[in-house]
Structure 1
Amino acid sequence: MSNPASTPAPPNRNSTSDATTTNLGLAKDWSEFCRALERAGEVVLRDAAPDTPLDRAEGFRYLSRLTREMLYSCVDNADPDFPRLHELDLVKIGADNPDNVYLSANIRGDRSYRITGKRGTIAYFSIGSKANRYAKDGTMASTGELTDADLVVEPDGTVEIIASATEQGRNWLPLAPDSTGLVVRQTYLDRSTETPGQWHIERLDAPAGPAPLSPEFLVGALRRAALSVHGTAATFADWTELFMTRPNELPDFGQEMFQRAGGDPEIYYLHGYWTLRPDQAWVIETEVPDCPYWNFQLNNWWMESLDHRRRISVNKHTATLDGGTLTIVVADRDPGVGNWIDTCGHRSGTALLRWLGADAHPIPRCRVVDLDSLARTPSSTGEDR
């Protein structure tokens, strides 16, 4: 007769069955995640999108960048009890500003958070709480804002910000029940001399430690990531199609749309679509209002800023003005007049002029001219568009 103490217990058939069912479900959900990413490719292949090899390659690279970012945000940095401020340095979304250092963190509106750091010497700082619904309806409404104008900096340069539903501390960032994230914007005028701040976030009254990964969380996170990739890409492709209705202009399409998508309330956005032949230039002229910051930038069709290593933007510090008038020349090559912006081999794309904190918001005068004649006669007027 065997010793009962040494006899192995019979396997728990229910537990084995449950594990098998869970594993099969996870495999199915992973396959659906992959199919959802494949469907996001339809945005790159839509009829209005350019089909040149450069634009098509950038479109699929854009989806890969979105996938990387959404997986990190939805899977690895999704816990609102233990948030991390993450720099968006490898993804370009919605006409990202080449002068900006963007930080983001996932939070919940029914929690309270402390953000600490040093302001640094960078020209502009703002932090906003957002209700991110890109995966659902392409919006990211502001639920609270705190800017330089309101920020209290201690004598030693440190800052403490409390993000909560009820007012706390000297630097309070309001949260709403539907707040899901924080976005920090730090904006350079002069990258060679300015230093951005360093920031940390923690939840007040956080639990002792994070919960272990569960299959249910992972499935939901993968679904949110795939929806966010598709939703983000589709939102800004829709914007570009709108801008295409008024080519080679920088009109006011209405600020509400841009604010609902997560724009800074301090900024007035003038978006546009451009299309040029290699022998043409897009000339933009405008008066410049008195404001802390402005910039102009060129983007591809997907609303990604072009290569920052090339001359694709100009701002209040780097521009040359002529008697208070700003002249920008968008072209394949530098004509030697105005502030040249490089098309980087593109024949079409999008553009953005930002006025930050300005009382007036001039609408630029735009025209397309022959590039060679512009270089010969800087005063050439060309054909108005």
Structure 2
Amino acid sequence: MTDAASERLLSGRAWDDFCDMLRNAGHMIDAFGDDVNDRDRVEWYRFMTRLVRNGFERFVENGEVTRPRLRDTPWRQSINFQSPNQDHLLAEFVDGSLEYRITGNRGTLPYFVICAWRANQPADIGERDWAARGVEGLKEFDPALLNTTGMIQSDSITFDADGNFEVIVSQNKPADGTAWLPITPDCVGLLVRTVYDDRANTIPPTMTLERLDGAAPQPIDGRHMSEALAKSGQVALGYAELVRSWWQDNLSKRPNRIRFSRAVYLSNGGVPDRHHGFGTWDRAEDEALVLRFTPPQSDFWIFQLCNIWQENLDNYEEGQGHVTIATAKPLDDGSILIVIAPEDPGLGGNWVDPYGLVHGGMSLRMIKPAGDPPPVHLHRVKLADLKANGLAGLKPEDAIVSGEISD
């Protein structure tokens, strides 16, 4: 007898519902009104294609119950201010009651962290239609809103002389002392953040995930495909609603400011080994933004610009759009000067090209910091005035000062 989820798939209803979910997600651009320009709209529709690609990779290709995998996120997929000096490996679970093992080799990577997370995900998602519920359906089923439930840092893992390691992923701690990542029964997957200082000269890690019960791989079935389509469509809607709510309800209300909120960060799959501040940058075509801050002692830090959809700028591929602890040119007092402008005004410090954009999101991330995040001083100024007067023309009393910790 065919189950309800399989019947929904075989009848075509699951596909129709998926297409309608994508239609709903794509039209969420309409909620932004005059907040967005033509360039933003172009990047929005590209953002939608990337969300679809992400959903298919995660839930269709790599969401099989008997073939758990840790796989790279799709190329140029940079959801939620993803750092350009980090890569993400993802694994999707449908049963957090099972036990798993990660084996691998760290290469020459200096640091990584593995976290487990949960999301609102009812058991019968493949049996139901979701598109008609719109964003209301996200209250019950939102694959994009991920809460971290456990983590293990590479500092807590034992490596042999060749860099090999093993981590048990389970609800119960292994008795033999093997490194352990605890998960909950409602765990929906794992995320590995691999952090690079010098990507070109670093050997990347390799990691393999397996079930410990020895279950043999099984062919794809109608239930899996029905659930995968529901997740793929709903994750696009979830991220569309996430960027809308972050922009309209939060970031756009405090332009050219950064705020550190652990609660906000952890509610979106973050891990507590870092401070991560989010903000908005805004300038006119003929203006520059000048930022200055002094980072605390940290193993790694990065400042990045994103577009309004929280994606990395296209020029990240050429090494632009961000400044890291490894690439930064500090001033003599140890502070970091960053000039965001369409051309380098020649003031020293660090120039960041906004790549034709006039606004978007920005973030400052400090991994394993020794202290609190720093205040961030920002001046918004005409580029011509900045070139003519230099830093001496910036009055301290005119600076926007942010960087506060809200929780």
Q: Is residue 2:334 matched to residue 1:321?
A: no
Shift of the 284–56 alpha-carbon distance from structure 1 to 2, 3 Å rule, reads same
Separation of aligned partners in 2, 1:249 and 1:357: 23
Separation of aligned partners in 2, 1:223 and 1:343: 36
Q: Is residue 2:218 matched to residue 1:219?
A: no
The one-letter amino acid of 1:126's match is V
Which of 361, 371, 378 pairs up with 1:350? 361
1:43 CA drift (Å): 2.2
Separation of aligned partners in 2, 1:101 and 1:318: 18
Separation of aligned partners in 1, 2:73 and 2:152: 20
TM-score, normalised on structure 2?
0.85
1:263 CA drift (Å): 0.8
Q: Secondary structure at the match of 2:200?
A: coil
Counterpart for residue 381 of structure 1: 394
Separation of aligned partners in 1, 2:169 and 2:58: 20
Which of 56, 63, 82 pairs up with 1:96? 82
Which of 199, 212, 216 pairs up with 1:204? 212
Q: Secondary structure at the match of 2:364?
A: strand
TM-score, normalised on structure 1?
0.90
Alpha-carbon contact 2:53-2:74 (below 8 Å) kept: no
Alpha-carbon contact 1:298-1:312 (below 8 Å) kept: yes
Q: Secondary structure at the match of 2:393?
A: coil
**Can you list the C-alpha shifts for 1:180-221, whole angstroms capped at 9, x where unaligned?**
1010011111123222211111111131221x3332332222
Separation of aligned partners in 1, 2:271 and 2:161: 27
The one-letter amino acid of 2:330's match is L
Larger RCO: 1 or 2 (CA < 8 Å, sep 6+): 2
Which of 186, 192, 195 pairs up with 1:178? 186
Counterpart for residue 381 of structure 2: 369
Mapping 1:45-84, distance limit 5 Å: 45-47=30-32, 50-84=35-69
| Stretches of structure 1 lacking an aligned partner (at least 5 in a row) | 1-14
Structure with the higher helix share, 1 or 2: 2
Counterpart for residue 265 of structure 1: 272
CA RMSD of aligned residues (A): 2.1
Mapping 1:136-147, distance limit 5 Å: 136-137=141-142, 138-147=144-153
Separation of aligned partners in 2, 1:79 and 1:206: 15
Which of 340, 344, 352 pairs up with 1:330? 340
Q: Is residue 2:206 matched to residue 1:164?
A: no
Counterpart for residue 8 of structure 1: none
The one-letter amino acid of 1:384's match is A
Equivalences, count: 366
1:375 CA drift (Å): 2.3
Separation of aligned partners in 2, 1:222 and 1:182: 20
The one-letter amino acid of 2:49's match is S
Q: Secondary structure at the match of 1:309?
A: helix
1:318 CA drift (Å): 0.2
**Can you list the C-alpha shifts for 1:286-305, whole angstroms capped at 9, x where unaligned?**
11211100000000000001
Q: Secondary structure at the match of 1:167?
A: coil
Separation of aligned partners in 2, 1:190 and 1:290: 19
Q: Which has the larger radius of gyration?
A: 1
Separation of aligned partners in 2, 1:152 and 1:195: 19
Counterpart for residue 232 of structure 1: 239
Separation of aligned partners in 2, 1:29 and 1:174: 34
Alpha-carbon contact 1:251-1:363 (below 8 Å) kept: no
Which of 33, 43, 65 pairs up with 2:18? 33
Counterpart for residue 9 of structure 1: none
Shift of the 127–380 alpha-carbon distance from structure 1 to 2, 3 Å rule, reads same
The one-letter amino acid of 1:158's match is N
The one-letter amino acid of 2:344's match is D
Counterpart for residue 124 of structure 2: none
